[in-house]
Copies of this chain bind each other. A is one copy, B any other.
Amino acid sequence: MQIPIPSFVDVLDFIGTFAFAISGIRWASAKQFDLFGAYVVGVATAIGGGTIRDLMLGVTPIWMLNPMYLICSACALVWVILFGKTIINQQGTFFIFDSIGLALFTVVGVEKTLTLGFPLWVAIIMGTITGAAGGVLRDIFINEIPLIFRKEIYALACVVGGLCYGLCEMIGLDLVVVQSISGVSVFLVRILAVKYHLCLPILKEQTDTN
């Protein structure tokens, strides 16, 4: 099989995939999954969002066209096996990687959707799905309530990034500038959300929910 030479965006994409997969694999290992299960959860975390997006857009899921996504996830598995104990000390690094992945996945999702002719509001949702749905899949697999529905702002960073994308494009900025601003905004919102523990308000529980 032929592997194309990776561009700068590809490299960022693979870093994001690696970081997302690490997150899935570590959660799976906390639930005593075996190696295969951990790999599947890692893959689902890394490419689940993009797969759901591509199915909705009616195109072939991206990972079926380029083996790099599965290879990156396999590298993540090897990494956790080899350096599992020290990963806790690399927490900060992986948080940065994860945020880079979130930013890039969002921009890729928004761009792909716009290219296919959908309006901006669909593109923003697809960007958010690309960035955040993998984590939801991960939490369903490990049988937990999805983290992003209750913790620090995560998916909202994707929404902000998507809005920035639309605004910058409307102004008429260059595509590379539009993408950079959009990505940086996702990254910043996410970093600030975790640094200052920014959460969305929680809906008050009602006594009877039938």
* Chain A interface residues toward B at CB < 8 A: 1, 25-38, 40-41, 51, 55-56, 58, 60-61, 64, 67, 70, 80-81, 84-85, 87-88, 91, 118-119, 121-122, 125, 136, 140-146, 148-150, 153, 155-156, 199-210
> What are some 5 contacts across the A-B interface (CB < 8 A)?
A1-B121, A25-B203, A40-B149, A70-B125, A88-B206
Q: How far is the CA of A182 from the CA of B87 in the complex (A)?
A: 39
Copies of this chain, tallied across the complex: 3
A51 is contacted by which of B33, B56, B67, B204 (Cβ under 8 Å)? B56
Q: How far is the CA of A144 from the CA of B70 in the complex (A)?
A: 26
B33 touches A149 (CB 8 A): yes
Q: How far is the CA of A30 from the CA of B203 in the complex (A)?
A: 8
Evaluate whether A31 and B145 lie within 8 angstroms (CB atoms) in the complex, with A88-B206, A203-B25, A208-B88 already known. yes
A84 is contacted by which of B36, B122, B140, B203 (Cβ under 8 Å)? B203
A206 touches B33 (CB 8 A): no
A1 is contacted by which of B32, B119, B150 (Cβ under 8 Å)? B119
Q: How far is the CA of A118 from the CA of B61 in the complex (A)?
A: 12
Q: How far is the CA of A34 from the CA of B91 in the complex (A)?
A: 25
A156 touches B29 (CB 8 A): no
A38, A67, A88, A210 — most chain B CB neighbours (10 Å): A210
Q: How far is the CA of A34 from the CA of B61 in the complex (A)?
A: 30
Chain B residue at minimum C-beta to C-beta distance from A55: B55
User: For A88, what are the chain B residues with a Cβ–Cβ distance below 8 Å?
Assistant: 206-208
Evaluate whether A28 and B203 lie within 8 angstroms (CB atoms) in the complex, with A37-B146, A150-B37 already known. yes
Q: How far is the CA of A51 from the CA of B58 in the complex (A)?
A: 12
B202 touches A34 (CB 8 A): yes
Q: How far is the CA of A67 from the CA of B124 in the complex (A)?
A: 12
B84 touches A206 (CB 8 A): yes
Q: How far is the CA of A200 from the CA of B32 in the complex (A)?
A: 11
